[in-house]
Amino acid sequence: MPFVSSNDTLGANFKDRILNNNIKTTMGLREWSILLLLSVIWGGSFFFIKIIVVHLPTLTVVASRVALAAIALWLYIALKRLPVPKSPQIWKAFMTMGILNNIIPFTLIVWGQTEISSGLASILNATTPLFTILVAGILLPDERANPRKLIGVLAGLTGVIVMIGPGALQGLGMAVYAQLAILGAAFSYALAGVYGRKFKALAVDPVITAAGQVTISTVFLIPLAAMIDKPYTLAMPGLEVWASLIALAVICTAFAYILYFQLLSTAGATNLLLVTFLIPVSANFLGITFLGEKLLATQIIGMAFIGLGLMIIDGRAFKYTASHLQKVKNPD
């Protein structure tokens, strides 16, 4: 039976759809496990990107990444014989998601990083959960903003700054348009997280949603890369580059987006985009484990701030402590 009937439409009020489709404001073990796995996968993507960008221009990498991910996902869908929605409205939703989650942020980040350091770009990108709290608080009745969430996000953002190094902030005020581009990408990711809640209400399988998103992104990005990078003029990359590109596409994009949409459907946009804080942590641990990098004091402090921020947003540890103190104070 198809996940989506042909007469499904997206014209209904977004808030009305979500009201009957509430998510868990406090994540369980499953949600935290998916979030951590997603952070490791996206943190590990830096390994593959470091190999690839030496040989291929950025937009070509991005376009190849989503194209190969689309192929992998559609092969999986064909093997599993998953029903594909035929409604034009659903495909319009895939297009919107692809634009918000891939095309706009990828393009803005690529352009922004030509003018500012990757460290400053990472810090600016880590504002995504803050934007998500604001956007979700306005549009989603079950993800209202509150002081606890804001304090937790600010603590996590502080941790990212400390981990990457406050020296990266010295670039603030210079190349203003590039910095605004990275912030625009973060805001676009926030919009994508909120908009993506629609797919659970429409009963679209996460694999189909992931495939639809990267397919639309491929349609837009391949012509863009062809015009700007002219990859057809480049030498054929070696086996190591192809292996890294396939891993980046299949594991860090196709599989990662399946996890992304699964977590979005259960934990919501605000909790999902906390992965922005965890990616630098995963990248550091992978660098220490496999590349022999040293763990610095600033990284430990930064991780502590990120952990504190996540605990504040989760809230259970503080509720348990308050409840325990109340029992000690009033044993009867």
22 domain residue, yes or no: no
Mean pLDDT of 276-290: 77
14 domain residue, yes or no: no
Does residue 19 or residue 247 have the better pLDDT? 247
Mean pLDDT of 285-313: 80
Which has the minimum average pLDDT: 57-66, 171-180, 295-304? Answer: 171-180
In tens, the pLDDT along 209-220 reads: 999 999 999 999
Answer for the pair 210, 70: CB distance below 8 angstroms, yes or no.
Answer: no
Query: The tokens of 180 are what?
Result: 């605004």
32 domain residue, yes or no: no
Asked if the model's pLDDT at residue 146 lies above 60, the reply is yes
Q: Is 155 left (phi over 0), alpha (psi -120 to 50) or beta?
A: alpha
103 domain residue, yes or no: yes
Determine the structural domain holding residue 97 and report its residue range. Answer: 46-329
How many domains does the chain divide into?
1
Q: How far apart are CA 1 and CA 71, in angstroms?
A: 24
In tens, the pLDDT along 253-262 reads: 999 999 998 8
18 domain residue, yes or no: no
Mean pLDDT of 204-233: 92
10 domain residue, yes or no: no
7 domain residue, yes or no: no
220 domain residue, yes or no: yes
Q: Which residues in 165-191 are b (16+ Cβ under 10 Å) and which e?
A: beebeebeeebeebbebbbbbbbbbbb
Does residue 38 or residue 329 have the better pLDDT? 38
pLDDT, residue 3, reads: 33
pLDDT, residue 304, reads: 87
Of 280, 275, 274, nearest to 118 (Cα)? 280
Query: The tokens of 178 are what?
Result: 């590039």
pLDDT, residue 51, reads: 81
